[in-house]
Chains A and B, each alone.
Chain A
Amino acid sequence: MVTRRDALLTTAAAGGAAFLNPKATQAQPAISGDRAWETSYSGGKAAPSLPPGQPGKDYQPVVTPNGAALPWKLVDGVKVFHLVAEEVEHELAPGLKASCWGYNGRVHGPTIEAVEGDRIRIYVTNKLDAPTSVHWHGLFVPNGMDGVSGLTQRPIGKGETFRYEFTLRQHGTFMYHPHHDEMTQMALGLMGMLVVHPRRPPADYRVDRDFVILLSEWRIVPGTHRPDPNEMTDFNVLTMNAKAFPGTDALVVKTGERVRIRLGNLSAMDHHPIHLHGHYFKVAATDGGRIPVGARWPETTVLVSAGTTRDIEFIADAPGDWPLHCHMTHHAMNQMGHGIPNMIGVKPETIDKRVQPLLPAYMTMGQNGMTEMAEMGMPMPKNSIPMGGAAGPRGYILMGGMFTLLKVRDALTSYADPGWFEGPVGELAELASPAELRRDGIDAPAVAQGSEHASPAAGGSYTCPMHPEIVRPAPGKCPICGMTLVKRETPRAGH
C-alpha cells in the first residue's frame, strides 16, 4: 500500500512514535493525527495486486503439524487454488476414526498460504450432498466475496464450482470455513487456516520455525463413527489440526530457534486457554493485525476465543519435551463420559466381590481417578479412545485431546520427531532417598529405590496395568498384585 508508506514516513518525519521501524510493514495501520483512529479498518482503498510472492524467496512457508499446504498454480500472475469440499474418512487419533467433512481429502482443510498483495483465485467445488460456501475469516474482501450464503452469494450447490477472487490487502493469520449451516458443517470438520505473509516483513517478523494450529472440538459418542453436530455443550474430542493426543505431531525445534505458533479457534462453543510449558511467549498478533512490539504482552497461557486467531512468538531456548495444551482439564482428555457416579474414595473390594460373580469382566474403576483406567487396556466400545493417552518414557502419559509437545533439542539432523527427551543426570524429579530425607529433616516414610524402578528399555518392556511403576524387561507377573505383565508400547519415533 504505497499510500500508507508515505503516511508512515510522514509521521516519522513528523517526529511521531519513535518505536516505529522505518521498515515497518505496510499493513501497520497508519496513525492519523489524533492517534485514535486508523486510516482504514478494511485494508484501505483497492490497489493493484503485486507480483505473486514465492516461497523461500518472499516468505518462509509455515508448518502445519498433521496437515499440509494447499498447492497453487500461477495463471497470468494470479495464484489459483482449488478447494474441494467432500466427505472424508478421518483418523482423529489412533483407534478413533470418523466420517467427517473436509477439503481435498483432508480434515481440516489444507493451509492456504500467500503474500500480502497477491491476487488469489480460489475455486471451490462442492462434492457434498448439502449446499455450502466458504467465508474468509478476517480477510478484507469485496462484500460479494465474503462467502455468506444467502446474503452475499447464493449457496454452492451439490456438484457446483464457485470462484472466489480478490487481492490480499493485509497480512496475518486467518481462517476459512463454510458460512452455510456452520453448526453442521464446521462440527463435521470443514475449516482450515489461511496465512498471509507481509510483503515487506520487518526484522522481527522473521522466525526460524512458523507453526499453524487450528483448534476445534467435536462430539463423537464412543462406539459411533460420526461426529454429532447437534451437541452444544458436551464435547468429548478436542483437537489441534483435527488430531487428538496421542495423534498430534510434535512441534520440533532446535534450541535457540525463534518460534512462532499461530493459533486459530473455530470451536463451536469453547474458548481455549493454550498453555506452554517451560517458556513464556509474547502475544504478537491477532486476526485483526500485528500488535505493536511495545504492546505485546507476556503470557504462558493465551486465551484463544472462538472465532479468533493469536500468534505467539518466543525463542525456544530450553531443551526438553514441553507440553503445549489447552488448560481446561477436560479438554486434555479423550471421549470420557461425564455422566457417571463419582467413584472417588469408594473402596472397591466388597463391590468387586459382589459384582464379579454376575459380571466376570467387571472391575470397579475411578476410585483413585483416571490413572488405572487408562493404563489397564480394558476392552472398549469399538472405534473409541475414552481414556486417551500414550506410553511415555517414564510411565503412561494420561493426556488426550488438545495436547501436543514442543520438542526442543540441542542437536537435530532433521525436524522429524526426535523421540523422547533425556535430560542431564541430576535434573530429574525422582524418589527422595532416605539419606536425603534424613539430611533435610523431612518427616515422611522412606521407600528404598529398588531394581523395580529401572529406566525403561527403548524396545520391548513389560509393565503391570495396575501398577505402572513396575517395569520388567521380560514377561511375567506383577510382584504387587499378580496380574500378568503387558508389553508396553514402544515410545513413538514420530508418525
Chain B
Amino acid sequence: MRGFRKPRAQRAATLLGALVMLSGCVSEDAGYQDVRKVVASRTGHEVRWQHVDGDESARGVRELLAQPLTTESAVKLALLNNADLQAGFEELGIARADLMSALRLPNPVAEGSVRFHKNDGTTLDLSVTEDLSQLLFLPLRNSAARAELEAATLSVATRAMDLVLDVRTAFYAYLADQQALDFRRTVLQALEASAEVATALHDAGNVTDLNFESEQVLEQEARVSFASAKAALATSRERLNALLGLWGDGANWRTEARLDAPAEDVPLASLEAKAVERSLDLDIIRKRFVAAARRANLARAEGWLPELKGGVMAERESDGWSYGPLAELQVPLFYQGQGEVARARAEMRRERQLLGAREVQIRAAARATATKLSAARDRALFIKNVLLPSRERILNATQLQFNGMGVSVFQLLMAKRDQVETAKNYVEALRDYWTAYAEFQQLQSGRLPRGSVFDVNGLELGSPSRRVSDGH
C-alpha cells in the first residue's frame, strides 16, 4: 500500500500521523501471511501469491516436472501453477482495497469566491472545511472493514484447500484409469490368445465355423473396451492438466505412482465434532456476521450524526479581512439512517441463519463421509484379502484341471480374465477409498468438500452486497 504514504500537509501532519497510527497501516501483506499460515496448518502445503511474492513458479514447476509425478508433487505443482488460484487471491486484493477505501481520511474542501461590486471593490470569500464526522467514525469503519478482510483471508485459504482436494481426487482418478487400462490390455491379450487357439483349431479342421466366430467376437469386443479405456484415461489426464495449469511440453509428465492399499483405520466417531470445531466455512460466516454487526453500529452512529463539517472561513471586504470558524451540521430530523441500519441488521440475520444451515450441512457431510470412508475401506480390504486370493486359487485350480484335461484352454483363459476383472474392481475400490479419505481429511481440516452432495448452496456464501467503503 505504498500509495498510502504520500506526503501530507505539514499542518495536519501530527494529527494525521495520529490518525494513521489509530487506523493502522494496511500493510503490504495484510492477510497474505494469514492465508499462508492457515493453508500450511490445514493442508501442510505452501501457497504463494505471485503478485506479492514474486513469480517463482516457473522454476518450481520445472523442478517438479523433472521427476515422475506423485499425488503430493501434483498438489504442489497446482498450488504453484494454477492461475485460477492466483485469480482467487485477488479476493484478498479487493478486500484490502476496500479497507484502504474505508480508512481514507476525508479530503478537506477549499472554497473561494470573488464578488465584484458595482462601485469599485471586490469581496473575497475563502473557506476550508473538513468532514469531521467521517473522521470521527474512522475507527468504526476500520473495525468493520478489518472483519471483512479477515473473512476474505479465510475465503482465499479455502480456495487453496479446494484446489488441493480437486488435485488429489483427479490424480487418484487418473491412477485408477491408468491401471484399468493395464487390466483391459491383459484381458485383451487373454482373448487374443483364445482367438488364436480357436483359429488354430479351425485351421486344423477341429471345430465348427460357429465355434470359431464365437471366439473371434469375444476378442473384438475386448478391443472395443480397450479403446474406451484409452479414451477415459486421456480425459482424466487432461482434467489433471487443467488443474495443474500445464499444456504443450509441460503436459507430457509421467507418473509411477500406484494406488496404495488402504491406510490404517482412523477414528471416525469424532469427525462430526472436529469438522464443526475446525470449520473455516463457519469461521468465514462468523466474521461476516461480525462485519455486518459493526456495519450496523456504524450505520446507527452515522444516522445520528450524518454530517458534521468544521472549518475556517475568511472574508476580505473593502475594510479588510475578517475570519472565523465555520461549522455545518446535517440535522437528523427526518432520517436517522434507518435504512442502512436495517440493511446491516438484515445482513446479520442472514449470516446467522447461514451459520446454522452450514453447520447442519457440515454435520451431515461428516457423518456421510465417515460412513463412506469406512465402507470404502472395508470393500477394498475385502477384495484384497478375500476376493483376489480366491480368484488366484481358482486360477491355480483351473490350471491343474487343465493339466488333467478336465477343462479346456478357453476356460483357463476365462479364469484369467475373471481374475483381472477382480483386480480392476480392487483398483476402483482403492480409488473410491482414497477419494473418500481425501474428503475426510478436507472435513477434518475444516472445509466442506466443494461439489459434495451436501453443498446445497454451491458454497458461494452470501457475499456482502454493500461494502463499508460505499459513501453516503
- B-contacting residues of A (Cβ < 8 Å)? 221-223, 335-337, 339-347, 350-351, 354-355, 357-359, 361-362, 364-366, 373, 378-382, 384, 386-387
Is the beta-carbon distance between A355 and B200 smaller than 8 angstroms?
no
CB of B251 closer than 8 Å to a CB of A:
no
Beyond A221-B406, A359-B412, A386-B405, 7 extra complex contacts between A and B, CB < 8 Å: A222-B406, A223-B406, A337-B401, A337-B405, A341-B408, A366-B405, A386-B404
CB of B455 closer than 8 Å to a CB of A:
no
Which B-chain residue is minimally distant from A354 (CB atoms)?
B193
Is the beta-carbon distance between A340 and B408 smaller than 8 angstroms?
yes
Is the beta-carbon distance between B416 and A345 smaller than 8 angstroms?
no
B contact patch SS? helix
Q: Max chain B CB contacts within 10 Å: which of A339, A340, A342?
A: A340
The interface residues of chain A lying within 8 Å CB-to-CB of B401 are: 222-223, 337, 381
Is the beta-carbon distance between B400 and A379 smaller than 8 angstroms?
yes
Q: Between A and B, how many residue pairs show CB distances below 8 Å? A: 103
Q: How far is the CB of A186 from chain B (nearest CB, A)?
A: 25
CB of B304 closer than 8 Å to a CB of A:
no
Is the beta-carbon distance between B193 and A355 smaller than 8 angstroms?
yes
Contacting residue for B196 out of A350, A365, A386, A387, CB 8 A: A350
Q: Give residues 197-224 of B contacting A (CB, 8 Å).
A: 197, 200-201, 204-207
Is the beta-carbon distance between B196 and A354 smaller than 8 angstroms?
yes
A337 to B399, CA, bound (A): 14
Q: Give residues 425-468 of B contacting A (CB, 8 Å).
A: none
The interface residues of chain B lying within 8 Å CB-to-CB of A379 are: 399-400, 403
Which B-chain residue is minimally distant from A348 (CB atoms)?
B200
Is the beta-carbon distance between B201 and A336 smaller than 8 angstroms?
no
CB of B410 closer than 8 Å to a CB of A:
yes
Is the beta-carbon distance between A350 and B200 smaller than 8 angstroms?
yes
- Contacts A350-B200, A359-B416, A362-B412; A373 near B405 (Cβ below 8 A): yes
- Contacts A345-B206, A346-B206, A351-B193; A378 near B403 (Cβ below 8 A): yes
Q: How far is the CB of B291 from chain A (nearest CB, A)?
A: 66
Is the beta-carbon distance between A381 and B201 smaller than 8 angstroms?
no
Q: Max chain A CB contacts within 10 Å: which of B197, B205, B207, B412?
A: B197
Can you give 24 contacting A-B residue pairs, CB < 8 Å?
A223-B404, A336-B405, A337-B404, A337-B405, A341-B197, A341-B201, A341-B207, A344-B206, A345-B204, A346-B200, A346-B206, A347-B200, A351-B197, A354-B193, A358-B416, A359-B399, A359-B416, A365-B405, A378-B403, A379-B400, A379-B403, A380-B404, A381-B397, A386-B405
Is the beta-carbon distance between B404 and A354 smaller than 8 angstroms?
no
A357 to B407, CA, bound (A): 20
The interface residues of chain A lying within 8 Å CB-to-CB of B404 are: 222-223, 335-337, 380-381, 384, 386-387
The interface residues of chain A lying within 8 Å CB-to-CB of B23 are: none
A361 to B405, CA, bound (A): 14
Q: Max chain A CB contacts within 10 Å: which of B186, B201, B405?
A: B405
Is the beta-carbon distance between A344 and B407 smaller than 8 angstroms?
no
Q: How far is the CB of A424 from chain B (nearest CB, A)?
A: 39
The interface residues of chain B lying within 8 Å CB-to-CB of A351 are: 193, 196-197, 200, 409
The interface residues of chain A lying within 8 Å CB-to-CB of B397 are: 223, 381
Which B-chain residue is minimally distant from A363 (CB atoms)?
B403
